[in-house]
Amino acid sequence: MAIIASNAKRTKTNRKSEAANKSQRSSLKTSLRSFNSAIESGDKEKAEILFNQSNSLLDKSITSNIHHKNYVARKKSDLSLKLNSLK
């Protein structure tokens, strides 16, 4: 138990932000997995839709300070390479 009030408040706010970040990270991972499965199956239309969705979620993760901009840039580059290899 935190003795200082500010520590107790930080613990409380950290728990709230961890829950929100966990949800956002989970949806991003699901989107990336779906994109990869569409690439493996060779479904071009589905892959393009999931590519746009994944890019959107990656950009949102930057603004929410969940992921670093370099991580997002690397992921977006990987996704575009995979999509272009399908064409």
How sure is the predictor about 78, in pLDDT bands with cuts at 50, 70 and 90? very high
Q: Which CATH fold topology does 26-86 show?
A: Methane Monooxygenase Hydroxylase; Chain G, domain 1 (1.20.58)
Averaged pLDDT for residues 20-41:
95
pTM summary value? 0.82
Domain ranges for the chain, please list them: 26-86
6/51 Cα distance (integer angstroms): 42
- Summarize the confidence of residues 33-54 as an average pLDDT: 96
Contacts of 36 (CB under 8 A, 6+ apart): 82
Residue type, 32: L
Angle at the Cα of 56 from the Cα atoms of 24 and 75, rounded to 5 degrees = 85
User: What angle, rounded to 10 degrees, do the helices at 69-86 and 5-41 form?
Assistant: 10
Structure tokens at 87: 């064409």
